[in-house]
Each structure stands twice: as structure tokens, then as C-alpha cells.
Amino acid sequence: MQRDVGSLPLSPALRARLLAAGFQTAQELLETGPCGLSKEIGISREEALEALQVVRQECAGDAAKTAGGSGSTRKCTALELLEEEQTQGFIITFCSALDNILGGGVQLTKITEICGAPGVGKTQLCMQLAVDVQIPECFGGVAGEAVFIDTEGSFMVDRAADIATACVRHCQLIAEAHQEEDHLQALETFSLESILSHIYYFRCRDYIELLAQVYLLPDFLSEHSKVRLVVIDGIAFPFRHDFEDLSLRTRLLNGLAQQLIIIANDHKSAVVLTNQMTTRFGQNQSMLVPALGESWGHAATVRLIFHWDNTQRLATLYKSPSQKESTIPYNITPQGFRDVQPPPVTQNAEGTEMNPRKRPRREEEK
């Protein structure tokens, strides 16, 4: 109630007038009332009413904060957070080694960044995740939908269809092996058409379209509340040319990162970004480092770097708040993103919690 008039989110002209008239606290404004305010400042009664409504809302928000209610800031204890984290799902990648080093898969409510050389499999992983997020809960998935924002034009529908078909087939094999009611029921709605219809695709041609799309994303996600994954394939590409003013670029990127964090938290979805690699010249050597500069490295919570070692593709967990740094090999097969060797097939006698990461039929696929 004692809030200073200068800090209220009113239009600057109105604020200047209020200060010139001598108003100092929000309490004074509320006491004056709309008619008195309009006479004193010289604005219309409707404008005065609108201003007072804003003031009242602000004060209510403040009061709630000081009283310890939820309001717009989220306050909870670490125990509540632990419970939340433990029940949260992960989006599996179908490569069990990668899931292991990530601690279960791509985490919801966090931003994961994938950096890599060209052609190493970043878009393939993104397409795999867009399919995997839709796996029904009885198979170990999160049963969500996906938003795919493409800035490079590398999304191939046919390839996504192949990956989706392989995923459906995999779930069918599990259902056959275990013959459970809910598995079969889930399979009825989990088909190629339904998977593809729940991947919402946006093609952004430059950074302005990307910014505009991210501004509109919260509204879109409120309408499509089942979305659990937002993929931005190629966050580097639109920002790497046509930018003479690097400080503007840093500012826009930071703003983008903040909005994505808000989106990830509010809608309980995972945000996956792919980044390019750029050559940095040292004294007499050059190295490949992730693009977009040092400050961008702070934006993502989890950072994966994909690279080559002769003919083997490797994934390194470069930055993570909870997992150890490690490197694992992976492959891109006609079915999508997979492990290098088939993991050992364990006979799970209980069968209620089937792990779709294990693929028992690998040898026959040659």
C-alpha cells in the first residue's frame, strides 16, 4: 500500500502527471477515487478508473507476496521439489546409453541444448524426441505432444514418419509380449497418423519470426495443454548472419532464453535447442566450440555435444546440474536414434514396468 507511484506499471505520461501533481504512494491514489483523480490530473474518468484498477491489482499482488501466498512467484520447500522431481517423467531417446548419462532421458521443465558438427544427428535426435514424447504412459512415456520450430528447413516428414513407424512397432512388440489390457488400449490411439498430427510444426525463416513465435508460444501452449516438448531446431542459424550489432544479439538471445525458461516451467515441458559449432582461432590452433558465444552457454541447463571419432558418433554430456560428465557412442539407424550394441535383454518377470529402451529384436534387422 505504501508503494511508490513511480514504480507502478502505468504509462509513462500518466506517471509523470501523477508525480507532477504531487502523488507519492499508491494509497493516496486509491483514496482519491476515479472522479477526484480525473479532476486533479485532467484525464478522463475512464482513464482514471483504468489506472486505479491497475494500481489495485498491483497492491493485491504485493499483499499476497508479503503474506506468503503463491502469487506470481513460486515458493516451495526443497522437499516438495524433490517429490515433484521424482514423479516427473523423462522423455526417452531410445538410446539407453544416452538416457543413462542424462539420468533417465530429457528432463521436463529444463532446457537441454544439443551442439554438434554438421550431419552428426542433432535433427535426427529432435525428430526422435518429438515422436518419443507421445509414447503412452503405460509404456513409460509422458503421453504429450510436441512443438517443432524449424529455422533451417531440415525437418523431413518422411524421416519423421519412419521414426514414428519404428516406435509404434516397438510398442506393439512390447504389448504382444505382455498382453496387458491398458497396453492394447493405448495402442489403439498410438498410430502413425496420431503421432504426426500431434507434432506442431513452425517454419521460421529469420530471427524476427523466431522471436515473434516465441512471444506467441505461451498462448499456443495454453490452448494445447498437452504439449510436453518444444524443439527449436537451429537456434544458431538465424542469429549468425546479418548481425552487426553483437550486443543486440546477446540481448535478444538472453530475452529468448528467459522466455523459454518461463515456458518450460509454467507448462511443465522440456525445451530442446540445437546449436551449431563454430571455429575459434586460438594462438596457433583452432578449435570447434558451440556457436553463439560464451554468454549463451549459461542459457541451457543441460548441454550435450555430439561429435565424431573417425566413423563413430559420440555424445558427451558437457553440462548438467545432476549428472556426471561422460561420453557414449550412438548410432543413427533407419529406425532412428539408437544404441551401438543391443543392450542385454533382461527378462522382467513382473512386467508391469516395461522399459521401452531395451530393444530385443535388433539382430534381425540387418
Tell me which residues in 298-327 interact with another protein (CB under 8 A).
307-308, 310-311, 313
Q: Which of 19, 63, 81, 208 binds another protein (CB under 8 A)?
A: 208
CB 86 to another protein: min, Å: 32
Q: Nearest-CA neighbor of 5 among 61, 51, 60?
A: 51
Please, are residues 41 and 63 in contact by the beta-carbon 8 Å criterion? no
Burial of 161 (0-12, 13-18, 19+ CB in 10 A): middle
Among the listed residues 162, 101, 50, the one whose alpha carbon sits nearest the alpha carbon of residue 323: 101
Distance CA 363, CA 341 (A): 10
CB of 208 to another protein, least distance (A): 4
226: contact with another protein by CB under 8 A: no
117 forms part of the interface with another protein (CB under 8 A): yes
Residue 136: which of 85, 171, 178 has the closest Cα? 171
**233 neighbors 154 (Cβ within 8 angstroms):** yes
Residues within window 252-281 making contact with another protein, judged by CB under 8 A: 252, 255, 276-279
Instruction: Using CB under 8 A, pick the residue from 39, 56, 205, 361 that binds another protein.
Output: 205
166 binds another protein (CB under 8 A): no
Q: How many residues bind another protein (CB under 8 A)?
A: 75
**Does residue 334 interact with another protein by CB under 8 A?**
yes
Residue 128 contacts another protein per CB under 8 A: no
Rounded CA-CA distance 104/135 in Å is 15
Give 59 or 199: the residue with its C-beta nearer to another protein. Answer: 199
Residue 49 binds to another protein (criterion: CB under 8 A): no
Residues 65-104 within binding reach of another protein (CB under 8 A): none
Distance CA 98, CA 101 (A): 5
Q: Is 197 a binder of another protein (CB under 8 A)?
A: yes
Stretch that binds another protein, among 22-30, 117-125, 165-173, 355-363 (CB under 8 A): 117-125
| CA dihedral (222, 227, 229, 235) positive or negative | negative
Q: What is the dihedral of CA 163, 169, 170, 175, to 10 degrees?
A: 150
Q: Which of 96, 124, 269, 320 contacts another protein by CB under 8 A?
A: 124
